Structure 1
Amino acid sequence: MRRRSFFLPGLAALLLTAGLLFAVVAPAAAHDEIVSSSPEAGSTIGGVPEEISLTFSGEILTDFSAVIIEVVAADGQNLSSGNPIIDGTTVTQAVQPGQAGVFTVRWRVVSSDGHPISNEYQYTVEAVAVPTSTPTPEATEEQTPEPSATTPATTSGEMHNGPSGGGELLPVLAVVSGVIVLGGALIVVLMVARERRRRDRAAAAAASGQGSRDGNTGKDGPADAS
């Protein structure tokens, strides 16, 4: 009888303890949990995403006041835009444009059992180098505009009256003409001077001959008188 009296209280205490443990563990095991995310936790992407998507193991209750998703940049600015969109087990949050860096996603939702769950994770956005475009030779060359259909055709008379390419030879022709004129004038001056010297020599010779004849006449005169 004593053994039975000790056995029954011990069994009752064991059952009570097991019941308490089950009461505590069962609700915790019933909570939903996050299954996947986009961007993934710890991932590195090449640009700031337009939205954050979280997928859970159960449907999320559509209590917008209890559903919060924050996308916090490295400078502490929350880039979440508008209210999150709940579609069954998926919650989507729009994100504003931002700079590259480490982003922290902080979320809180209400699981299908009515209990709120929350957590956070990080992802990294790399800075994308913008390639500089080098202008091609075709782009730098000046294109000759094509004549439009309304441009009047140039007549032969207008082409004849326009400036000709011989205008570049005018300075050369002027110099050559000047040299010819100066050369001709110099030749004329030399010829005139030569003719004048010839006349002077002829006049001097004539004067010298006349003097000789006058001297001879004077000598012959007295001889005849005797």
Structure 2
Amino acid sequence: MLFAAPAAAHDNLLDSAPSAGDTVTTLEAVSLTFSGELIDFGQASFAQVQGPDGLYYETSCSTIDLNVLTTPVALGEAGTYTILWNAVSSDGHPISESFEFQYAPEEGTESALGWDLPACENERIRAQPGAVVAASPTPTQSAQDEATTPTPAKTDSASDGSSEGVVVLFMLGGVFVLAAVIAAAFWLIRARRRRTE
């Protein structure tokens, strides 16, 4: 009698938080629990969280603890979010799936900004399309700002400087006049001496 060898069963997803169809008001991480220990090499096992705007809301790469895969998230606006996951099961076979859940935050909850690319392996190149970047002033704007900037009013020190200049001129004039008087006196004295001789 011939007996068929039992087929090796691949691991499968046992539980997730959130689960498919769940509605959550807060969420800091997506957690997936599998039936067997996952093989982790080169980030082959991961979970991505995509929002209703098509952007990604993972804050960093997924981590694996035996058979549990965890991905930290910061969600944006309310709506339908999709979890796309891929895992390498204990037999080396990759498995993947996706499911949706609803996010309904409480009023006043701050919405995070989504990213154009998943978190893992894109840390240096991904960007947040909704982020507001402060624009640096253009040369034209700088010139306009300088043109509209009021010039400082003349202070009293400027007027004091001009008055000091006038005083200096008067003093110099007095010195010249005094020198002329002295020169004239010497000339008169010499002229008298010559007459007396």
TM-score under structure 1 length normalisation: 0.44
User: Is 1:33 paired with 2:12?
Assistant: yes
Pair 1:45 & 2:24 matched: yes
Segments of structure 2 that go 5 or more residues without pairing to the other structure are 110-197
- Distance, in Å, in 2 between the alignment partners of 1:84 and 1:106 is 12
Deviations 1:190-221 (A, max 9, x none): xxxxxxxxxxxxxxxxxxxxxxxxxxxxxxxx
Q: Is the 8 A contact 1:60 1:88 kept in 2?
A: yes
1:90 to 65, 68, 83: 68
Q: Which runs of 5+ in 1 are unaligned?
A: 1-10, 132-226
Runs of 4+ in structure 1 deviating by more than 6 angstroms, as ranges, are none
Once the two structures are TM-superposed, the CA of residue 66 in structure 1 deviates from its matched residue by 1.1
Report if aligned partners of 1:52, 1:95 keep a CA contact under 8 Å in 2: yes
Q: Alignment partner of 1:77: what SS? A: coil
| Residue equivalent to 2:99 | 121
Q: How does 1:1-226 map to 2 (within 5 A)?
A: 19=4, 26-27=7-8, 30-47=9-26, 49-130=27-108
CA deviations over 1:35-78 (Å, ceiling 9, x no partner): 1101121111113x111000001101122431121100011101
Distance in 2 (alpha carbons) for counterparts of 1:46 and 1:84: 22
- Aligned partners of 1:64 and 1:84 also within 8 Å: no
**Cα distance per residue 1:79-122 (max 9 Å; x no partner):** 12221110011000011331111100000010011100111111
Amino acid at match of 1:32: D
The Cα offsets for residues 143-191 of structure 1, whole Å up to 9 and x where unpaired, read as xxxxxxxxxxxxxxxxxxxxxxxxxxxxxxxxxxxxxxxxxxxxxxxxx
1:83, 1:127 → 2: CA distance?
Answer: 24
Q: Matches of 1:75 and 1:130 in 2, distance apart?
A: 20
Deviation, structure 1 residue 33:
0.6
Inter-partner Cα distance in structure 2 for 1:99 and 1:93:
19
| Identical-pair percentage | 37
Aligned to 1:83, the other structure's residue is in SS state coil
CA RMSD across the alignment: 2.1
Secondary structure of the residue aligned to 2:60 is strand
Higher CA-based Rg: 1
Task: Tell me the TM-score normalized by structure 2.
Answer: 0.51
How far residue 128 of structure 1 moved from its aligned partner, in angstroms, is 1.9
Q: Which has the higher helix share?
A: 1
